[in-house]
A and B are shown apart, each in its own frame.
Chain A
Amino acid sequence: MQPKLELLTPDLIDHILGEAFYLLETHGVKVQDPEARRLLGEAGARVDEASEVVRIPEAVVRRALETVPREFYLYNRFGEPVVRYGGDAVHFDPGSSGVHILDPETLEHRPSQTADLVRLVQVAEMLPQYAAQSTAVVCNEVPKAIGDLYRLYIVLLYSAKPIVTGAFSVPTAHYMLDMLAIFAGGREELAQKPLAVFDVCPSPPLIWSEFGARNLIDLARARVPAQMVSMPLAGATAPVTLLGSVVQHAAESLSGLAIHQLAGPGAPIVWGGAPAIFDMRHGTTPMGAVETAMIDVAYAQVGKSLGLPTHAYLGASDAKVVDAQAGLESGVTAVIGALGGINMISGAGMLDFLACQSAEKLVIDAEAIGMALRLVEGLKVHTDTLALEMFASVGFQGDFLKQKITRHLFPKEQYLPSAVLDRGSIRAWEEGGRLDTFTRAKARVRELLAAYERPPMDPEAEQELRNMMERLARQAGMDALPM
């Protein structure tokens, strides 16, 4: 039995959806892309071109819900389906788009560069807890105009895992799809076996920007998975109540889903998000707050009630260094997300309200994720009798260690942490130099980087990717690539 955390009764889910549909039909959504407005208008929505407000009847959304896939897979570069978006499958990936990297020696939050992204990708590649990669930080030395596709280029060069990514502009999104198609064997093959999912964000409250809506349409037509990342900020850009924010999330996501399915019926799309509560002392957006995690679990439950794949931003912290706060916020929210049965949980490695990535935090978070994944595996019946057979050869001595079944089953029963977690004795700790978690994490990062090997890839495809990147970089005014 997979243990589950549910925060909503069926009645409350109906109530949330009822209010969301009512909002869409009466208050409306601002849709800033003309084609998206046209698609919605042709489907039966009332469009006010002057104000760009579209009022969408429930029936339009219900039709979209009939065509949307209930599950899909992301593939690794060897063509294997390794991430299941659907049901209660749970996966984790590192948080995306940090602008800073935590320098492990100086503890400074400095602007991230290519070398930092490479390091993060290599570390995440080595950790099985991460089912997917993300385009984890922006590379600040690269022109902004190609920042999004350049990150994808780097991840494609150093990883074989599926990728959670996103575009920063309409034209670059197409280049990114082309980059992925190089390795998939073509655009059609990419649609059949997608290597990546693209984050697409509405703007709270209830706005689909021209870029956001365009992105939805283009991804739907390319039939490459889109991941809606609705981010109500409870008390600031969304109602202060957690449930009020869940209603807003539902309205934004349902309208996005309608645009997407009208553009490409049957294309895969994820009910995702990155909401937060609004901190009333500091005006910040705490990702490590329990209420943030509660909004996530609640909207995921709403998405599941509609049969949709889910995503959330959890397992991150607002601490500035990799300290106790970082550990507790990341661990607690990773467990909550896992218990919510959320298909993809992004956020690991992140500090400072998703602004700063850290490879050292990534290896520590991997342990919290290992535990969270173990928890959702639940308790299993491995043997015919639960204990009786194991007692058969044992008197009143603690001789279970000698039983073959002990050796056979302990790796199935116990999640085995890395040396980042100290489970040795006090003496071993003292003799090992009295190292704290962060110091152990630094050592682990060094070990992983030393053991990392670039995954095998088709040299022709790799050359094509490099050529494409060099061409795009020159167009953006950059004559030589950093790496």
Chain B
Amino acid sequence: MTDELFRAMAQSIIDGDPDVAADLARKAIEAGIDPLEAINKGFVPGVDYVGEQYGKGEMFLPDLVLAGEAMKAAIAVLEPEIARQGGQRQTLGTVVIGTVEGDIHDIGKTLVATMLSVGGFRVYDLGVDVPITTFVEKAREVNADIVGMSALLTTTMVRQRDVIEALEDAGLRSRIKVMVGGAPVTRAWAQEIGADGYSEDAIGAVSVAKQLVSAG
């Protein structure tokens, strides 16, 4: 019975159906299933499957995004229940993410945020055109493990360096890992500005983030 429910949960993520995912989450609570277990044994395998298929070229960006939406819907139902039981959802870490000041490109950054979120991170998405000080303040406020910055233009890419410097000035740099991404961003650039992580795509970003926090 529980196995069947878990399989249906994974399927709701694969199907990218937020309504079904939320329904199944409520069913799990009614049935007295541990909400953490529902996440880890029910929904997460679905996310893993979608990520794997995407990596093989068998699934596509719309599948990733819809899987993310379904996962968010499930977690929105289960998280209050976890809190009510006096627990806390174990996350891999806290990420503050945004597109740097002067740049309004959204899609890539949002995708990374979604993938990190469904991949087990607590994600604060600051949106686009984010001022340097906002990155720093939010990172301090939520005790971030990772700050992620996107830039889609060569002209705004330099802001990534400014944020890293501001984190240093604020005395936060030593305990925060920095990830950068975006069309003009290369591994060489990431190294040049002293970022800790870089990935070519959203799925890669999750594994980079996992490496960074476990190395942390």
Contact = CB atoms under 8 A, between A and B. Distances in A.
Interface of A: 397-398, 401-402, 404, 406-407, 410, 419, 425, 427-428, 431
21 contacts: A397-B106, A398-B106, A398-B107, A401-B62, A401-B111, A402-B66, A406-B62, A407-B16, A407-B60, A407-B62, A407-B66, A410-B60, A410-B62, A425-B200, A427-B186, A427-B187, A427-B200, A428-B200, A428-B201, A431-B187, A431-B200
B183 A425 contact: yes
A407 B16 CA distance: 10
A398 B61 CA distance: 14
A398 B106 CA distance: 8
Interface in B10-28: 16
Which 9 A-B pairs give the minimum distances between C-beta atoms? A407-B62, A406-B62, A401-B65, A428-B200, A402-B65, A427-B186, A427-B200, A398-B107, A407-B66
Given A404-B66, A425-B183, A427-B200, 11 more contacts: A397-B106, A398-B106, A398-B107, A401-B62, A401-B107, A404-B16, A407-B63, A410-B62, A428-B200, A431-B187, A431-B200
Nearest to A397: B106
A410 B106 CA distance: 20
Interface string B149-183: 00000000000000000000000000000000001
A430 to B, nearest CB: 8
Nearest to A414: B60
B195 to A, nearest CB: 14
Contacts of A402: 65-66, 69
B57 A419 contact: yes
Contact of B61 (A401, A404, A425): A401
Contacts of A398: 106-107
A402 B62 CA distance: 6
Contacts of B187: 427, 431
Contacts of A404: 16, 66
Nearest to A428: B200
Interface residues of B, number: 17
Contacts of A401: 61-62, 65, 107, 111
A404 B61 CA distance: 12
Q: Which residue among B62, B186, B187 has the maximum number of chain A CB atoms within 10 Å of its CB? A: B62
A406 B69 CA distance: 14
A397 B61 CA distance: 17
Interface in B72-99: none
Interface string B25-68: 00000000000000000000000000000000100111101100
Contacts of B106: 397-398
B90 to A, nearest CB: 27
A331 B200 CA distance: 31
Nearest to A419: B57
Nearest to A401: B65
B81 to A, nearest CB: 26
A427 B60 CA distance: 20
Contacts of B63: 407
Nearest to B198: A427
B175 to A, nearest CB: 29
A398 B128 CA distance: 12
A406 B57 CA distance: 17
Nearest to A430: B186
Contacts of B60: 407, 410
Nearest to B204: A428
A355 to B, nearest CB: 35
Nearest to B199: A427
A407 to B, nearest CB: 3
B203 to A, nearest CB: 12
A451 to B, nearest CB: 13
Contacts of A406: 62
Contacts of A419: 57
A408 to B, nearest CB: 8
Interface string B100-139: 0000001100010000000000000000000000000000
Nearest to B114: A402
B212 to A, nearest CB: 19
A50 B111 CA distance: 81
Contacts of A431: 187, 200
A428 to B, nearest CB: 5
A431 B187 CA distance: 10
A412 to B, nearest CB: 13
A348 B62 CA distance: 33
Nearest to A406: B62
Contacts of B69: 402
A425 B186 CA distance: 10
A398 B111 CA distance: 12
Contacts of B62: 401, 406-407, 410
Nearest to A408: B62
A410 B61 CA distance: 10
A397 B62 CA distance: 16
Interface in B174-216: 183, 186-187, 200-201
Contacts of A397: 106
